[in-house]
Amino acid sequence: VEKRVAKMMYYHPAMHRALFVLPAELQRRFHAPPPWLQEAAEEFIIQSFMTQAHGCSGSLLNDVQVVGALLKKMAALADLTSLGSLEHTFEPQGVTALLLVSESHLSIHTWPEMHYAALDVVSCKAITLRVRKAIEAEVANSLGCDSLVSHFSRRGRGFSQVAAGHDAGHDDVKQPATHMEL
């Protein structure tokens, strides 16, 4: 009997992660995306959570105090540091509110006549799944919404490595160009 020995010539952590994945039904049940979708948050400099709120109370959507308070509650849920706010009420209806936080900003734009609002949380601080779920619950509760559709994304991949390389004295790392170089 001939004995064969297999040599592993190449290993990558992604190969290891791919072998240990929950079946799709359990991923959905436990809100656990597959590992290849879970990119390291520290590789990105911006996290963005966008929510569309449907079937909301028209009177709540047109109340600048309610809308402004909602943004502050959302910032508190995400542990973001509030710096200032700006609200504007449109005629005959509608509100736009912005909350500036040291980590970036939050915004809401409302269309009471359509019972609709668009909300954004943009942050350089991680917006975890637990925080996103808490924000969704607060939006639905504060605005009396029937349904929400949310999207989470990360932007600015690789900039942390560029900054780290530059800080470490690597002069060969190019910094991003400005829009108006002379």
Q: Please give the C-alpha separations between residue 87 and each of 38, 70, 99, 162, in angstroms, as whole numbers.
A: 36, 12, 9, 37
Q: Which residues are catalytic?
A: 104, 109, 124
Q: How far apart are CA 136 and CA 133, in angstroms?
A: 5
Distance CA 165, CA 179 (A): 23
Q: Which of 58, 152, 150, 151 is nearest to 111 (CA)?
A: 58
